[in-house]
Chains A and B, each alone.
Chain A
Amino acid sequence: MTATDFPAETTMATASSRSRTDRRMALRGLAFVAPAALLLIAIYILPMIVLAAFSVTDYQLGALSIRFVGLQNFTAAMDDDVFMRAFANTVLYAVIVIPFGVFLALGVALLVYNRKRSRAFWEVAYFLPVTATLVAMATVWQFLLHPSIGPVNAAIKWFGFEPVAFLSNPVLLIPTMAMIGIWQVLGFNMVLFLAGLTAIPKDLYEAARLDGARNPIDRFFTVTWPILGPTTMFVVVTTSISAFKVFETVAVLTKGRFGSETLLFNLYLEGFEYSNTGYAAALTLIFLAIVLILSIWQTVHMDRKVHY
């Protein structure tokens, strides 16, 4: 054996030992992800395939026969008054909750941010509704808004106005639920805005002051608002997603009576109460299409929002 063989041999030895560790690492990696991967298939991938398959059939849970109907379920949805009403209600709900839920939260965040000693107290007060079980709190709201024994109407009467039938006047049902929605989401959005405000460098305000932005409102529009742009966008998207998923308040307050169904509540009735599985699958895909646009945007931006 010559001396020149020596390095070649060692390279070969390390190469084969590396490929052995590589293979061992690959096997371990596969073993580590196996439970998660199997669950991913069982909980996400298979159900999505089954859902798509259901949506083009007339399947009803428990039925013995099943027929391919093409896109008939989707066209039926467009002609379904209840579904279209649920859709319109959900859009109305979102249109009320998004601006108020976002801009009131921004206002509260701006006020809370500058408090030194009392900041913790305000944070707790505004965040409390986020943690509370919405089903229980919706029951409390039902009582608060009661036409004859609720304190809200008592106050309205005390000011000399007619009592308001928040939960029996069909026109007011969705706005009333939207108000509860705003009450619940406000603290959540406030915390997201507070995180955004913390990230603004203090010297920017100093620079703006020197540039002539003398009053706080000018400084808000020259510094805070532009820098908070991405945070605001994120808050708008998350608020929209939760608005399109409104369910609990409907389940407690009206159960969809008086034409107050929302997308998810209608979906619940069709799929799980009436067992119209095929039709409900088509409705689910429509719901998913709406939410997906928003949630893809959110997931792409979550990378940055996850740390704090």
Chain B
Amino acid sequence: MAYVRRYLPHLVLAIGAFVMLLPFYWMFLTSIRSPGEIFDVSLWPIPKDFSAGENFSRAASQVPMARFMLNGVIVCLGILIVQVLTAVPAAYALAKLRFPGRRLLMTLVIAALCVPIQALALPLFVGLAMTELLNTYFAMMAPFFLSVFAIFLFHQSFRSYPNEIIEAARMDGFSEMEICWRLVLRGSLPSLAAFSVFSLVAHWNDLYWPMIVVSDTNLAPPPLGMLYFADVESGANYGALMAGATIITAPMLVCFLLVRRHFIAGITMTGVK
């Protein structure tokens, strides 16, 4: 009885974890098996015929997989850099400087936090269509240049920075920019790390907005590329399809396994996905 008590939680967790991990295992296993083994539903990890090379090269030749990945990197980094550049000074001013309209701006930031991007997509799309900016990197990044969540988060964290140090730095002739970026932000590096993870993961995985503004295959970020690829293959070659899925999910999975703590903190910090 005591024996059961002791190991029952492990058993339950293991069954659950099997379900959670099965798709990843199956994805990887299929990506290294030959297409001939497609009817073999066994979970035996060693394929009879090792054809990872064939599957991965087919995934890379059927659609521009490398291009999708590059697009993902460009879009995610572009968004993150502009978000940090605009949010950090704004959050610093809201937390530490007095200026007219400060309360109004704070109220607008909080209000904007409640509005999902899907609600703004239609007018933003019409605006981009009218200025003929569809099918550009700019169109994919523009709606995310301002992260009200970043302003909110940095404001929370900057507020606790001691005013005495800021005063002393001003006396010493530091410019306000230097105080903001070199002193105050340095005190909030964990927030910056968590926000970066949050932003990168959210935009690497986002399908909705790219699907709206991009129809050119060469500009597609990974999720949209995956969708094109699935349509091209349409069940014909699961080995290549799973190889493609592996390529697209791998960067985030590897980063997650490397910096687990930051990832969990970054993603769950909002509660919003």
Contacts and interface: CB of A to CB of B under 8 A. Distances in A.
Contacts of B252: 131-133
A192 B153 contact: no
Contact of A143 (B113, B119, B242): B242
Contact of B207 (A26, A46, A251): A251
Contact of A188 (B253, B257, B268): B268
Contacts, number: 284
Interface string B65-81: 00000000000000000
A32 B93 contact: yes
Interface in A272-308: 272, 277, 280-281, 284, 287-288, 291-292, 295-296, 298-299, 302-303, 305-308
B245 A136 contact: yes
Contact of A30 (B30, B99, B253): B99
B68 to A, nearest CB: 11
B143 interface: yes
Contacts of A192: 268, 271
Interface string A124-158: 11111111111111011101100001110010000
Interface string B89-103: 110111001111110
B110 interface: yes
A186 B10 contact: no
A308 B265 contact: yes
A40 interface: yes
B13 A280 contact: no
Interface string B2-31: 000000011011001101111110110010
Interface string B141-182: 011011010011100100000000000000000001000100
A103 interface: no
A136 B223 contact: yes
B189 interface: no
Interface residues of B, number: 99
Contact of A33 (B89, B122, B208, B223): B89
A24 to B, nearest CB: 9
A85 interface: no
B116 interface: yes
Interface stretch (A111-119, A169-177, A220-228): A111-119
Given A36-B86, A251-B207, A136 B226 contact: yes
A253 to B, nearest CB: 10
B190 to A, nearest CB: 10
Interface stretch (A5-13, A47-55, A87-95, A200-208): A47-55
Contacts of B268: 188, 191-192, 195
Main secondary structure of the interface of A (DSSP, over half): helix
A39 B122 contact: no
A122 to B, nearest CB: 5
Given A238-B271, A268-B211, A191 B120 contact: no
Pick from A234, A284, A306 the residue with the most CB of B within 10 Å: A306
Contact of B270 (A25, A29, A302): A302
B269 A306 contact: yes
Contacts of B211: 251, 268, 272
B207 to A, nearest CB: 5
Contact of A32 (B39, B43, B92): B92
A106 interface: no
A245 interface: yes
A252 interface: yes
B93 A29 contact: yes
14 contacts: A32-B97, A36-B86, A44-B115, A48-B119, A50-B123, A120-B260, A126-B17, A127-B263, A137-B245, A149-B38, A149-B39, A149-B41, A238-B273, A271-B121
Given A25-B98, A134-B223, A292-B114, 4 more contacts: A43-B143, A241-B272, A245-B118, A307-B156
Which 5 pairs of residues, A with B, have the shortest CB-CB distance? Answer: A29-B99, A36-B90, A39-B146, A32-B93, A29-B97
